[in-house]
Amino acid sequence: MLKRKPGNSGLEVSALGLGCMGMSHGFGPAADRQEMISLIRTAVERGVTFFDTAQVYGPFTNEELVGEALAPFRDQVVIATKFGFNFEADRDQRPLNSSPEYIRRMTEESLKRLRIEAIDLYYQHRVDPNVPIEEVSGTVKDLIQAGKVKHFGLSEAGVQTIRRAHAVQPVTALQSEYSLWWREPEADIIPALEELGIGFVPFSPLGKGFLTGKIDETTTFDSTDFRNTVPRFNPENRKANQAIVDLVTTMAAKKQATPAQFALAWVLAQKPWIVPIPGTTKLHRLEENLGAAQVELLADELREIEQVASQITIQGHRYSEGSQRMIDR
């Protein structure tokens, strides 16, 4: 597996990471724990060194899973987790809480669940409008000085928030959605990250599964799958958005790659400091995704896909109304 450096912090990880959320949370019932431990350990054997989890996934069960799975490989891997949700509030109204005291308390609990002495990369999961980002950055800076955290990250943060945070404690990476069917970060986020030397870790680089070509307007999701609440995934929008999948499928065939591999290769080709973290619960999908690192897209191929993609208008918001309110602009 090729290595990449997301930003100028000195952190080095595999070119593709593994997003672990779906193993416990979000896409239907939690997968079998022992199977997921085996999957994570197979990823390590295949050269993956970057694993992503969060306190809210479960909540907590995903951190516990990742901690157990990676315990034998602690010195070989980079573990990222996220803070910022308030677990003392009503589950259905899960508000944010990035107060310094709460961050410190939740950090200690994450360290225990992950079975580690220091969190390699610690993201604020969502920007808390009630706590100045300078306070958040300062708290994480203290945790870094105390040896409990190694690198600071932000998730779904806007440019001004990133700049303010970075001025207090250098931000190693931003995690946000980015793929061929969600390209908003190209306007302002990616240029700012490049200027500041901050890495970019795209989640949902396969469009929550849509860009694999395995989902169409007739697909039904489990009742607990959050895609049921995402406007972009209603049947009408899926039908309209099939055009981007058709483009990916056509281009992939020319490269003798799968649609998933092509979609990931496209993300990798955008900047050398981008590290996507596709998730899966299936071994054959893990193997398929990792193959994307070997798919090299040439300049004329990138121009070709850009020319066609620019003519396609994606339909539907990427979040439900409630989740959309948590996005920092």
Which residues carry out catalysis?
57
Biggest alpha carbon–alpha carbon distance for the chain: 54
Local structure of residue 279 (DSSP, 8 states): B
Q: Which amino acid is at 42?
A: T
The residues with which 201 forms a beta bridge, in sequence order, are 175
Separation CA 161–CA 250 (nearest Å): 39
CA angle (229 as vertex; 153, 19 as ends), nearest 5: 35
The residues with which 256 forms a beta bridge, in sequence order, are none
Local structure of residue 263 (DSSP, 8 states): H
Three-state SS string over 54-89 comes to CCCCCCCHHHHHHHHHHHHHHHHCEEEEEECECCCC
What are the C-alpha distances in Å from 262 to residues 1, 160, 236, 256?
17, 33, 25, 9
- Structure tokens that stand for 270 in this block: 């955008």
- First-to-last alpha carbon distance for the chain, in angstroms, is 35
172: enclosing H helix or E strand: strand 171-177
Strands 3-4 vs 13-14: parallel, antiparallel or unpaired: antiparallel
- Structure tokens that stand for 129 in this block: 């409008």
